[in-house]
A and B are shown apart, each in its own frame.
Chain A
Amino acid sequence: MRIATSLETVELKSSGPSKLRLLSKGYWLEFFQWVAAAGFTAVELPYNAFVNDPLAFEIGRCGVPISLAAVNVKYGSPKGLRKMLADFGIADVTGVHVQAGDALAEIMATDGDTARYFGLLESAGREAIGFLADLGATDLVLSPTPARGLVERFFAGGRDGWEAGFLDLTAAVVNKLAREAKAKGVRVAVRDEFWSLLRGDARDAFLAKLDKDVLYSPDLSHLAIAGADPVAVMKKHKARLASVRFNDTKFTDAVGNWRTSHPEIPTQGAQRVFCDLGDGTVDLRGSYRALQDAKYDGWAVFDSRMTLDVPRALLRMRWRIDHSIAAKA
């Protein structure tokens, strides 16, 4: 098993002291120093191919390495980025994380034509595959549906059973991308967030619709919030795992937030959905051991999503990995 961290530890969109500096290349040059100083030699990147959604426009134009265009402008090329990371001591890029919600955000920001959704999702995935091939990285992690509340708003049309049709079309896009990816040495893995249409039993049914070489990328805190046992889920799918995301939560979704259109920013009740790795209740050590027992040899990608203090979170993640999660008994 190989250990990495994700740039998604840095929350780009929300408010805080010095928040706009996160949009500059200067911030990321320093961030990569923190990553290496915390002992991480591999990173996973977020990826957003779109530019018309207002937040995507702001994030993609000044230095966040979040798309091919952003990387070309500020780092020269994917290879240039890779060389720079290596110079910082970060030898590997595990892959990128693409979110279907970004395709819907693009539509909402432009003409509102949801008929374009699956085409946009496919083109975003295709761009990410090309980026990965240029970068020399292998894993395209795809969150294949937007938040359930948003999908319902735009695609349900008042019909019962709309989910099945939506997921069939989604599976077709994923399979198409996976076949294209394979030809470029890239593999596709899907993720089931607690707010996704893949929540609960839908995950297994969806995986059954996919080609056998489409993999599964569990996110431990999302599984825990959805009420699943991450260890049991990983054991069940041990032959299909890739880019396993280790993170933490102590959030209880007491108000059915998973059904809303903004599940990661609750307005009612408890609001801190994620916490720094090790501060929550996810069985991180048990999950790690389950992967060891399964002789998993892929990436374990650690993050502390929505942390309020990025360098502190990176250092504490390293301590917890070494002294608890991956420590020998």
Chain B
Amino acid sequence: MANLKYSYMTNMWGLMVRYPVANQWGEWYEGDFGNSVYYLDWDRILRYHVGAGFKGIELMFHMLPYVNEYFGSPKAFAEFAKERGIEQVTGTFSLALGSEDRANHPAVLAMNQKMIDFTAELGGENINIMPASGYFGHGPLSKEQLRNAADCFNEIGRRALDKGITACIHSEFWCAVNKYDLERFIEMTDPKYAAFVLDTAQVSIMGFDPVAMYDKYHERIKYFHLKDTNIIDAPDEKRFAAGAEFNDEGDRWFWELGGGQVDFPGLWKLLKKYKHKGWVAVETDGTPDPLATLVLSKAYIDTKLAPIYS
């Protein structure tokens, strides 16, 4: 049995996949004759994942109301996915915007409690959380603000653990917890309640070496968001700009595995060394073609990485 199982974060398809099932192909194709019809429904998109060999998926925080509205419940969505070959909705992504201010903690905790419950009902294992506000307008954080954010994360993590879910710090390159205080933040949080998800592109853009980071923090790193990038150690003014995630020129931050400069073979050697087991996720938001990126990423895993460790 394989040590690693592959999940895929579904945020690259758009903010909201429009339909559970697109009932009539002709409605969308006839007259338009384009390829958009292939991107309109969960039925097809889930089957692409399975066809490419990804048996897990992750959902964004904005899927919570969608799932309840269109599927009735998280459990019903998980069943819908299972019928199409998805073994598990492995986890979700959430935010702790404003956690650097204690006055915001009740609202941040309430929002994340909803996400914890949502993740549990989906059958997920992980919840990856941006730990504070965006840098623009909020950073840099003072030591006290960092402490506030860490305390908030610990409480979210404690609540998550109550439901059997691992809360993981997700380090956006545009977050107020950034290059100069990310490691301090990791140390300020309680290892019992706050794991770290190694997002290989996000940390590379901030100037960290993801392989060295895994070597250093392998006991805290319980999960992975694998994505590639060609922008290593981006200057502060790019990362700290307003709306930095979608920059004004439309440049692409994130690439399919093998499309950038991240040393994935080096990471895989460490996965083998530390005997990592379980789900690992690919996340490639911002690709112009989710279907191509999905397949290219899996081909890279199968041909370049699996021979090292699988």
A positions within 8 Å CB-CB of B: 12-21, 23-27, 29, 54-55, 57-59, 61-63, 73-74, 105, 108-111, 261-262, 265, 267-272, 275-276, 279, 308-309
Contacts and interface: CB of A to CB of B under 8 A. Distances in A.
Nearest to B21: A267
A196 B286 CA distance: 35
Give the one of B35, B242, B246 with max A CB within 10 A.
B246
Contacts of B19: 265, 267, 271
B245 A62 contact: yes
B15 A14 contact: yes
A201 B85 CA distance: 48
A9 to B, nearest CB: 14
Contacts, number: 130
Contacts of B16: 13-15, 55
B243 A270 contact: no
A26 to B, nearest CB: 3
B307 interface: no
Given A16-B36, A20-B286, A74 B243 contact: yes
Contact of B15 (A55, A63, A261, A276): A55
Nearest to A72: B242
A309 B20 CA distance: 22
Contact of B24 (A19, A58, A61, A271): A271
B309 interface: no
The 3 A-B pairs with the shortest beta carbon distances in the complex, nearest first, are A26-B250, A54-B62, A15-B14
Nearest to A307: B32
Nearest to B69: A262
Interface of B: 11-24, 27-28, 31-32, 34-37, 39-40, 45, 60-62, 64-65, 69-70, 107, 110-111, 134, 136, 242-243, 245-250, 285-286, 288-290
Contacts of A27: 250
A14 B66 CA distance: 11
B246 A13 contact: no
Interface of B is mostly: loop
B15 A308 contact: no
Query: Per DSSP, are chain A's interface residues mostly helix, strand or loop, or mixed?
Result: loop
Contacts of A269: 23
A309 B22 contact: no
Contacts of B13: 15-16, 19
A16 B40 CA distance: 7
B17 to A, nearest CB: 4
A265 B18 contact: yes
A21 B243 contact: no
Contact of A58 (B15, B65, B289): B15
Given A14-B40, A15-B14, A17-B35, A54 B61 contact: yes
B250 A14 contact: no
A61 B135 CA distance: 12
Contact of B22 (A23, A29, A271): A271
6 contacts: A12-B15, A13-B18, A14-B16, A15-B15, A20-B285, A265-B19
A52 to B, nearest CB: 9
Contacts of B288: 17-18, 21
Contacts of B110: 111
Contacts of A26: 246-250
Nearest to A268: B23
A88 B62 CA distance: 34
A26 B251 CA distance: 9
B69 A73 contact: no
B247 A14 contact: no
B85 to A, nearest CB: 19
A64 B40 CA distance: 22
A309 B35 CA distance: 10
Contact of A20 (B21, B61, B243, B246): B246
